[in-house]
Amino acid sequence: MMRSSVFAPGRVELLGNHTDYNQGLVLAAAIDRGLRVSGARRDDRRIALCSNSAGEFEVDLDNLRPVAEPAWVNYPLGVVRELLGEGIKIGGFSARIEGDLPSGWGLSSSAALEVATACFLLRLFSAELPPLAIARLCQRAEHHFVGVHCGLLDQLTLIFGRAGHAIFFDARSDEVRPIPFPANLVLIVAGSGAKRELTNGFYNQRRLETRAAAEALGVNSLRDVLPNELAKSDLPPLLRRRAAHIVGENDRVRRALELLASGDGRGFGALLSESHESSRANFENSTPELDLLVEIARGLPGVHGARLTGGGFGGATVTLCESDAAAQAAEAIAQEYAQRSGLTTQVFICRPADGAH
């Protein structure tokens, strides 16, 4: 019986919040947590999916359509639909999904499921696609089957991730480049306890707002706007704030590349904190819980900066910390957050890791 097993990591977005669908610049990293999809071919035309945490689901391969419940199955089913659309012959299969990547945290658990499923099926049915084509196929699956008009950042990071490196992505040119990450620094991820749901419309609304800002400024995308140009514009206040976030994030990514090249972890961390303040004030995709986690982290020894990670509207924060101070900082974040918010959080330390394999 033909079998296959593929692991896809989660990712943390370091800088470049909501810039990917604005043809902008992003800095992210695959992390050493993720999801594994394992299974085998079947002799019939059935798809059987099993998740240790989310239950089981079966459907006929010839009757693929989005389902309301359980919503998680739309990610792998959307990938199947897109593979079939590419002319790749997919038969019936059984697959088990397991891993240690929390969902609803902004760590790309949905993209990890898409990428792991796509690579699993390509191996299982002896087919190949170039890495960039796999990323785009998974992005289309989320657009068409889930209804979230995501950018390409998550899928690309999960495929091109490299241990010890951040991943730079230019959403206009599709350039993907590994950037050495300081060996003495680690990332602390802290969940807010407030689940993040991008399908509730916030993400798509911000996409419409940034598109409207670009049109009002007479440019193809906000990538074409510099901070001094935005300052002289007469955009309405809401669109000005949305544009300020995107324009500022692109600038922060450019500065981060220079700081990382010179090994300036403290300067890089300051950009993370600056990014979070822009999310809070300009893009309004933070929450009181995320703000509290950032405030707590920034006051701890060895911490260089902190911000929300991913789309926001709940989820998690990422904190840049000296390796030798990370365990104590992670414990302090969890304890003080529980005391001040009344919420229980999960906190873990991670490092930049390899992509899907």
The DSSP call for residue 271 is: H
In which order are the strands placed within the sheet that holds 347-350? 303-309, 316-322, 185-191, 347-350
Instruction: With both helix axes pointing from N to C terminus, report the angle between 288-298 and 265-278 in degrees, rounded to the nearest 10.
Output: 160
Q: Count CA atoms within 13 Å of residue 319 on its CB side.
A: 34
Tell me the backbone φ, ψ of residue 354, rounded to 5 degrees: -75, 155
**Residue 165, strand partner residues:** 180
With a CB cutoff of 8 Å and minimum separation 6, the contacts of 337 are 190, 292, 293, 296, 343, 345
**Residue 31, strand partner residues:** 352
Tell me the backbone φ, ψ of residue 126, rounded to 5 degrees: 55, 50
Tokens for 173, please give them. Answer: 């040119």
H or E segment and range at residue 347: strand 347-350
Q: In the annotation, is 154 catalytic?
A: yes
Active site residue: 154, 174, 264, 291, which one?
154
Catalytic residues: 154
